[in-house]
């Protein structure tokens, strides 16, 4: 257990960080803390206007660039326009779709945005990576079970919670396989995953959908704010911890509190499953890892 706070973030002057989904919630809080520590922070956001409003309230050097993770063409454009080293890539953006929706490329939206979009982004930026990749996952991964025969929910009755859980399991499997590949390539870049805990953000109220009553009560009574939810992400980004770590809050079943290293499910530790998901993701996105 730690007492780690934003005050423990080292001086990041001279570094560059990209934070996806940085216009609100945990992403915004993460970007703000990094910029306050001296980093040049690029807010990679779907809505540039919201991104500029968020950046206007942040200290230090910030920049807003458009990125729609639900459209691989947008991901490719973002990556093609990048030049220079990336000390920190925070794959934060995420959705929880209550009903079946599809990305521009036809993928189920939770899996397409939360996993495949970030998978493509990371690999397209691979040559620029110089420090860490932090992917925001969730303990919801414990309820995930990837169905490789129907990842796009073409035949199964759609369940929004299951699709979200599966995408968060994919985030952890992606992190494990990315770290394995980085080590094999002799790279010093670290791949980490972070669980923000129970955080009151708009992810639970998208497109006019309110969360079920039990969730609404839990959020009201137990949820922490985005600044606290950002702590495990920031800890994964700068703390002296090994690659392929999973960080999360230290209290209330890892739902609240200061960040620490936490455990993941046996499924999320399955390296054969991680390699299989990587191969499938390369085929679906048509983006191959350089190593």
d(CA 285, CA 24): 27
The token duo for 92 is 């934060």
d(CA 63, CA 244): 29
Looking at residue 99, the DSSP 8-state letter turns out to be S
d(CA 247, CA 263): 8
- C-alpha to C-alpha distances, 291 to 40, 85, 96, 149, 202, nearest whole angstrom: 28, 18, 31, 27, 37
- Annotated active-site residue 164? The verdict is yes
According to DSSP, the residues that pair with 135 across neighbouring strands are 91, 193
Catalytic residue among 4, 164, 174, 246: 164
Buried b / exposed e along 19-29 (16+ C-beta atoms within 10 A): bbbbbbbbbbb
Work out the burial of residue 221: count CB atoms within 10 Å of its CB; fewer than 13 is exposed, 13-18 middle, 19 or more buried. exposed
Whether the CB-CB separation of 89 and 122 falls below 8 Å is answered with yes
Residue with tokens 């039990």: 214
d(CA 273, CA 291): 18
Question: How many Å is the maximal CA-CA distance in the chain?
Answer: 51
Cβ atoms within 10 Å, residue 203: 17
d(CA 63, CA 56): 10
Q: By three-state DSSP, how is residue 223 classified? A: coil
Enzyme catalytic residues: 164
């Amino acid at each position: 257990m730690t007492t780690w706070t934003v005050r423990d973030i080292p001086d990041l002057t001279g570094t560059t960080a990209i934070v996806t989904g940085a216009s609100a919630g945990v992403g915004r809080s993460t970007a703000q803390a990094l910029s306050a520590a001296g980093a040049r922070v690029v807010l990679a956001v779907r809505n540039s206007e919201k991104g500029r409003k968020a950046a206007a309230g942040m200290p230090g050097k910030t920049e807003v660039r458009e990125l729609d993770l639900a459209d691989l063409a947008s991901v490719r454009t973002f990556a093609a326009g990048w030049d220079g080293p990336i000390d920190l890539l925070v794959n934060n953006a995420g959705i929880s779709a209550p009903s079946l929706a599809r990305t521009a490329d036809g993928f189920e939206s939770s899996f397409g945005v939360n996993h495949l979009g970030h998978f493509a982004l990371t690999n397209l930026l691979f040559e620029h990576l110089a420090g860490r990749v932090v992917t925001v996952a969730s303990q919801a991964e414990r309820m995930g079970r990837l169905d490789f025969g129907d990842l796009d929910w073409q035949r199964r009755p759609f369940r929004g919670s299951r699709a979200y859980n599966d995408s968060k399991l994919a985030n952890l499997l992606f992190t494990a396989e990315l770290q394995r590949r980085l080590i094999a390539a002799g790279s010093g870049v670290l791949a980490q995953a972070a669980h923000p805990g129970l955080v009151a953000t708009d992810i639970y109220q998208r497109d006019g959908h309110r969360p079920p009553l039990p969730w609404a009560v839990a959020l009201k009574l137990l949820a922490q704010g985005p600044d606290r939810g950002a702590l495990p992400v920031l800890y994964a980004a700068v703390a002296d911890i090994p690659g392929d770590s999973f960080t999360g809050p230290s209290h209330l079943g890892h739902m609240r509190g200061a960040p620490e290293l936490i455990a993941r499910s046996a499924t999320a530790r399955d390296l054969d499953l991680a390699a299989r998901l990587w191969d499938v993701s390369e085929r679906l996105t048509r983006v191959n890892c350089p190593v």
